[in-house]
């Protein structure tokens, strides 16, 4: 079993079942952050904290959608955070009651590192509902720098596309699109979860009017992220359209060049084929060097010049 145990005075204690149970019964347990979902961790939830069996069963399986469930005097939540653009989201299971706050995850969560340091600097610690807000807020706010980096990557890809579109850029666009879809699948239900808490459709233990502004602020952050995701989705679609347009334009330029070359050689092939038939009249009358260069090559040069003039007049080149 791996994790961190934070006490109500802001300090950390040893992560041992006996220490955890003692801090829980003494009311000194502020936040327990478990870094795995091993059988030992699940037994701790079930036997020491008395978490509902259905919530413990959900903790066995990661890869769930964001949700919130009420169990008697406790609440179970699934929330997500981000570590980097293009990487899978960090799934965090949250178990909250008046006397405990437990989070469980399998992956690294950079958002929790700074939060623990902030809690350690607070004199006298903080109440569990406020810590719960900080936990959820840190997970939500971890998306803002990722979306900012996402915007920068789209701008860089657009510059590369207008310079020289390649298959690698298209693959990058599709990878960014998949990541943005994953973010959207997470943000929308999380926003609905906070709306359920604020409208009191879900009873959060210890929730009072003085705590509502914290969760309204969190709800506002989720709305902003949802708007950013929608705008970046449109920007990503525009980038893909720009890529297809640039590729199509380049293909049109290539076809135009090939068509010009084929059109230029069409009369030349006709002339050489015509003169190559060796008519008796041509053999008897066109035999001098001057006639060869004037009539033979001159007609071909004249055909090319006339074609170029026609192309320029019709703005084909």
Q: Output the six-digit token pair for 82.
A: 């981000």
**The predicted structure's pLDDT at residue 183:** 92
Condensed to tens digits (0 to 9), the pLDDT of residues 124-181 reads 456 788 889 989 999 999 999 999 999 999 988 888 888 888 888 888 899 999 999 9
Higher-confidence residue of 117 and 104: namely: 104
User: What value does the mean pLDDT of the chain take?
Assistant: 84
The answer, yes or no, to whether residue 77 has pLDDT greater than 90, is: yes
Percent share of the chain, pLDDT over 70: 90
Of 281 and 240, the one with more pLDDT: 240
Place of tokens 């008519």: 279
Which residues, including other chains, have CB under 8 Å from residue 226's CB and lie 6 or more apart? 184, 187, 188, 191
For the chain, which domains are there? 3-247 (3.30.460.20), 253-313 (no CATH)
Dihedral angle sign, alpha carbons of residues 211, 217, 219, 221: negative
- pLDDT value of position 223: 94
Q: Specify the range with the lowest mean pLDDT, choosing from 33-42, 185-194, 249-258, 280-289.
A: 280-289
pLDDT at 120: 63
CB 137 within 8 A of CB 218: yes
- Does residue 311 surpass a pLDDT of 70? yes
DSSP structure string for 268-304: HHHHHHHHTT--HHHHHH--SHHHIIIIIIHHHHHHH
Are 59 and 104 a contacting pair, CB within 8 Å? yes
**pLDDT at 123 exceeding the cut of 50:** no
Given a cut of 60, whether residue 11 has pLDDT beyond it is: yes
Mean pLDDT of the 182-195 span: 92
The pLDDT, as a whole number, for residue 166 is: 85
Rounded distance between C-alpha atoms, residue 147 and residue 252, angstroms? 36
Mean pLDDT in residue range 78-95:
90
Query: Burial level of 7, CB count in 10 A (0-12/13-18/19+)?
Result: middle
> Is residue 301 pLDDT above 50, yes or no?
yes
Cβ-in-10-Å burial (0-12, 13-18, 19+) of 161 comes to buried
53 pLDDT more than 70: yes
Question: Which of 72-81, 134-143, 168-177, 268-277 has the lowest average pLDDT?
Answer: 268-277
């Amino acid at each position: 079993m791996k994790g961190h145990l934070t006490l109500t005075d802001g300090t950390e204690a040893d992560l041992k079942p006996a220490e955890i149970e003692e801090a829980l019964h003494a009311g000194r347990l502020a936040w327990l952050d478990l870094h795995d979902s091993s059988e030992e961790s699940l037994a701790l939830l079930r036997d020491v904290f008395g978490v509902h069996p259905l919530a413990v069963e959900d903790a066995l399986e990661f890869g769930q959608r964001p949700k919130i469930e009420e169990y008697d005097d406790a609440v179970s939540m699934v929330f997500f955070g981000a570590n980097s653009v293009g990487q899978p989201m960090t799934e965090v299971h949250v178990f909250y009651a008046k006397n405990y706050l437990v989070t469980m995850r399998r992956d690294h969560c950079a958002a929790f590192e700074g939060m623990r340091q902030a809690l350690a600097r607070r004199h006298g610690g903080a109440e569990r509902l406020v810590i719960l807000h900080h936990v959820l807020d840190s997970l939500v706010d971890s998306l803002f720098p990722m979306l900012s980096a996402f915007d920068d990557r789209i701008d860089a890809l657009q510059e590369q596309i207008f310079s020289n579109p390649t298959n690698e850029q298209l693959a990058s666009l599709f990878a960014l699109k998949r990541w943005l879809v994953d973010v959207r699948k997470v943000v929308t239900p999380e926003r609905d979860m906070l709306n359920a808490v604020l409208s009191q459709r879900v009873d959060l233990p210890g929730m009072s009017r003085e705590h509502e502004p914290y969760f309204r602020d969190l709800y506002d952050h989720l709305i902003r992220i949802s708007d950013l995701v929608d705008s970046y989705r449109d920007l990503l679609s525009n980038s893909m359209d720009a890529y297809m347009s640039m590729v199509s334009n380049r293909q049109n330029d290539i076809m135009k060049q090939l068509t010009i070359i084929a059109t230029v050689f069409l009369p030349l092939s006709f002339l050489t084929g015509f003169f190559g038939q060796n008519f008796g009249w041509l053999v008897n009358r066109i035999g001098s060097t001057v006639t060869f260069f004037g009539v033979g090559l001159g007609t071909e040069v004249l055909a090319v010049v006339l074609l170029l003039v026609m192309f320029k007049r019709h703005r084909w080149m």
